[in-house]
């Protein structure tokens, strides 16, 4: 089975359909989720759902379409209130085909680090604008911004994953790029013991860019994160880039030592 992008629905757009957004706070016991699903699936076509734990409670949240035309947010709330597994619930509705999830305020990682969402093309176009600043200063700015983000993410990973994990953590770190939607990163065969070469397919920075000549932000990010994780200065070049006509990007990181992944 081929992987793809995970569908994240901060809102749902479905003209001509009546939509509900159901949020249920449940007692944190395994049976609660099954009970709530049973109650809801008898009356609603569940379009997209998510369940997670937060502290001593569990949250179910989902967009749904009523199976019967006379179903209302109140009728669903009454249905849920009967169950001893349910401690609270919110049901909102829309008739104009657009329903926003107003319960959640952004995203977070499993460690509680807040995340923001931007449309990929929007970010790529923003970088394009910065890169087009006359005099070549734009790409330097993008590189420095990448270093700042890399430093921050590297510190976060160090404090969460602990330095000992880094001994064989490099392949795992690379998989984070695609998990976050930045592109698909793979480690290439090493020709120089000091250097790490990373192939990036579908890099977000050059996904719509036309004005820049390289993925300066990603290059800066690799410098910032690698130097934070390794604890020493590193260099990075991008010898292959889609912005110069190649079909993918490659980043060559000079780690300064012969076995960077084992530090």
Q: Cα separation of 33 and 62, whole Å?
A: 12
- Residue 105 — φ and ψ, nearest 5°? -120, 75
Q: Which of 91, 99, 206, 223 binds Zn ion (CB under 5 A)?
A: 206
Closer Cβ to Zn ion, 22 or 142, answer by number: 142
215 binds Zn ion (CB under 5 A): yes
Site membership for Zn ion, residue 252 (CB under 5 A) = no
In the bound state with Zn ion, the residue whose beta carbon lies nearer, of 61 and 214, is 214
In this complex, which beta carbon is closest to Zn ion, that of residue 35 or of residue 214? 214
Residue 99 or 212 with smaller CB distance to Zn ion: 212
The least CB distance from residue 207 to Zn ion, in Å, is: 10
In eight-state DSSP terms, residue 257 is S
For the CB of residue 262, give the shortest distance to Zn ion in the complex, in Å. 28
Sole binder of Zn ion in the list 142, 249, 252, 253 (CB under 5 A): 249
In the block, tokens 């919110």 appear at 90
Q: Is 236 in the site for Zn ion (CB under 5 A)?
A: no
CB of 248 vs Zn ion, minimal distance in Å: 8
Pick the closer one to Zn ion by CB: 185 or 249.
249
DSSP-derived secondary structure letter, 56: T
Verify binding: residue 198, Zn ion, rule CB under 5 A.
no
Q: Residue 241 interacts with Zn ion (CB under 5 A)?
A: yes
Cα–Cα distance list, 80 to 19, 35, 132 (Å): 18, 10, 55
What distance in Å separates the CA atoms of residue 206 and residue 186, rounded to the nearest whole number?
Answer: 17
Measure the CA–CA gap between 246 and 236, rounded to whole angstroms. Answer: 18
Shortest distance, CB of residue 242 to Zn ion, whole angstroms? 5
Q: Give 146: exposed, middle or buried? Use CB within 10 Å, 0-12, 13-18, 19+.
A: buried
Of 58 and 206, CB closest to Zn ion = 206
Quote the least distance from Cβ 126 to Zn ion, whole Å: 16
**Which pairs count as long-range contacts for 253-257, CB under 8 Å and 24+ apart, including other chains?**
253/195, 253/196, 253/197, 253/198, 253/222, 253/223, 253/226, 254/194, 254/195, 255/194, 255/195, 255/196, 255/226, 255/230, 256/194, 256/230, 256/232, 257/194, 257/230, 257/232
Q: Cβ of residue 23: shortest distance to Zn ion, in angstroms?
A: 41
Residue closer to Zn ion, measured from CB, 63 or 204: 204
Q: How far is the CB of 206 from Zn ion (least distance, A)?
A: 5
Which residues contact Zn ion by CB under 5 A?
A: 206, 215, 241, 249
């Amino acid at each position: 089975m081929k992987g793809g992008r995970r569908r994240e629905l901060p809102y749902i757009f479905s003209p001509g359909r009546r939509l509900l957004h159901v949020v249920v706070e449940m007692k944190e016991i395994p049976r609660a989720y099954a009970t709530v699903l049973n109650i809801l699936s008898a009356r609603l076509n569940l379009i997209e759902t998510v369940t997670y734990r937060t502290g001593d409670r569990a949250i179910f949240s989902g967009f749904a379409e009523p199976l019967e035309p006379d179903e209302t947010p109140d009728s669903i709330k009454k249905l849920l209130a009967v169950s001893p597994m349910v401690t609270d619930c919110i049901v909102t509705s829309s008739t104009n085909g657009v329903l926003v999830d107003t319960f959640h305020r952004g995203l977070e990682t499993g460690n509680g680090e807040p995340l923001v969402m931007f449309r990929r093309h929007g970010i790529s176009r923003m970088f394009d604008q910065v890169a087009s600043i006359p005099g070549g200063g734009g790409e330097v700015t993008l590189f420095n911004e990448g270093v700042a983000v890399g430093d921050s993410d590297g510190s976060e990973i160090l404090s969460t994953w602990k330095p000992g994990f880094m001994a064989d953590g490099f392949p795992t770190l690379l998989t984070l790029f695609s998990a976050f939607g930045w592109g698909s990163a793979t480690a290439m065969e090493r020709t120089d013991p000091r250097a790490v070469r990373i192939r990036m397919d579908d890099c977000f920075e050059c996904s719509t860019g036309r004005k820049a000549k390289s993925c300066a932000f990603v290059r800066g990010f690799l410098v910032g994160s690698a130097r934070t994780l390794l604890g020493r200065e590193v260099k990075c070049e991008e010898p292959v880039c889609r912005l110069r006509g190649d079909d993918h990007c490659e980043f060559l990181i000079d780690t300064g030592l012969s076995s960077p992944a084992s530090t």
